[in-house]
Amino acid sequence: MAETVTTDILVVGAGPVGLFGAYTAGFRGLSTVLVDALPQCGGQISALYPEKEIRDIAAVPGALGREVVAALKAQADAFDPTYLLGREATDLAYSADGRPVVTLSDGTVVVAGAVVVTAGIGTFTPRTLPAGEEFLDRGLSYFVPDPQEHAGRDVLVVGGGDSAVDWALTLRTIARSVTVVHRRSAFRAHAASVRELHESGIEIITDAQVETLHGNGVVQEARIRVDGRDEPRVLPVDSVVAALGFISNLGPLTKWGMELDRRTIVVDSRMRTTADRVYAAGDITSYPGKVRLMSVGFGEVATAVNNAAVALNPELSLFPGHSTDAA
């Protein structure tokens, strides 16, 4: 028989924004359940970038991803939320009194006063490297959960976005050598990171693509096709990190009756979706002027939870008070 859980706030997505949402709800005295398809908290950070340094959170000059997640979870745990991990939120219905009823992939049913969706980019799969897919997990990888795995190696990083540049900078002090290959001349990463990359001494090959990978069981060589050059460049490599971005998918959330803008959920200034009693915050949301930063997501989820609190009890004040006011 399926388990039924009742809560004030159901947070769908236990990444950084979802964890802060649980803290915000707990601070208001609301019970909270967090659901995530991943088996651990932290979302993309825990799954993909636990050792990556995060620098764009106010008052945190720099901290590893796993440290940020651990701190956010400790903050949320002060109010004892319930974690239902390793299961996906699939179906949304409503009870006779109008409460959202969400069914999870394992059959668990969560009856909530309100739902806050903080699912990041939804489910994500890496964009594959067309050349050398047969070397996946034998030198070719799409994630760097542990930079030490590349210690003493000749590493080729493919891509021009934030992940590619960040990993190149992280690995330069660990690997024997790092080379970056990007198919364009301009990088898409943050300007400060790109400047640091150019000043780092890392070899950068632009207007180029990986043509083939070669090796005897494991990657040993990469052939790079450079625009305007007749013959490919041949590089000895032990590791290839293809940081080409991700393909996101909202999955079952597309059937919840919310207005969507491509792969995001449209919200208003209260972070309400078009589905009754369903709010959203973080990278999954869309509105004019949206800026996709974790720090912005923290503010959005606080707005969502506090508006949900007032919707559940109109006698409450929208402003929750400051934490410094508490004993």
Domain end point (choices 219, 242, 265): 242
Which residues are 222's β-sheet partners? 213, 235
**Residue 251 sits in the same domain as residue 102:** yes
The tally of domains found in the chain comes to 2
Q: What's residue 247's pLDDT? A: 80
If asked whether residues 151 and 166 sit together in one domain, one would say: yes
What pLDDT score does 146 carry?
85
Q: Which of 210, 242, 274 is the last residue of a domain?
A: 242
**Residues 114 and 135 both lie in one domain:** no
- Helix runs in 28-134, H state only: 43-48, 65-77
Same domain, 41 and 119: yes
Domain boundary among 188, 219, 242: 242
- The structure tokens 């319930």 sit at 82
What pLDDT, on a 0 to 100 scale, did the predictor assign at position 1?
A: 61
> SS3 of 191, please?
helix
Q: According to the model, what pLDDT value does residue 10 have? A: 98
How do 140-141 and 82-85 pair as beta strands? Answer: unpaired
Q: Are residues 132 and 238 in the same domain?
A: yes
At residue 97, the 3 state secondary structure works out as: coil
Asked if 264 and 251 count as a contact pair (C-beta separation under 8 A), the reply is: no
**Could you please report the per-residue DSSP string of 274-307?**
SSTTEEE-STTEE-TT----HHHHHHHHHHHHHH
Q: Does residue 255 share a domain with residue 120?
A: yes
Give residue for tokens 């490599």: 237
* Same-domain check for residues 250 and 114: yes
Q: What is the pLDDT of residue 80?
A: 98
Same domain, 237 and 134: yes
235 and 143 part of one domain:
yes
Looking at residue 145, what is its pLDDT? 79
Q: Are residues 105 and 14 in the same domain?
A: yes
Quick one: 185 and 200 in the same domain?
yes
Q: Are residues 157 and 230 in the same domain?
A: yes
Residue list, annotated binding site: 36, 44, 49, 89, 124, 283, 324
Task: Per-residue pLDDT tens, the chain, 327 aa: give them.
Answer: 679 999 999 999 999 999 999 999 999 999 999 999 988 899 888 877 787 888 889 999 999 889 999 999 999 999 999 999 999 999 999 999 999 999 999 999 999 999 999 998 877 778 899 888 899 999 999 888 788 999 999 999 999 998 899 899 999 999 999 999 999 999 998 899 999 999 999 999 999 999 999 999 999 999 999 999 999 999 999 999 999 988 878 899 999 999 999 889 999 999 999 999 999 999 999 999 999 999 999 999 999 999 999 999 999 999 998 888 865
CATH number at residue 213: 3.50.50.60
CB neighbours (10 Å) of residue 153? 18
Residue 216, token pair as written in the block: 């005897």
- Residue 205: domain span: 128-242
| Whole-angstrom Cα Rg for the chain | 22
Tell me the binding residues for FAD. Answer: 36, 44, 49, 89, 124, 283, 324
Buried b or exposed e, range 59-83, using 16+ CB within 10 angstroms: eeeeeebbebbbebbebbeebebeb
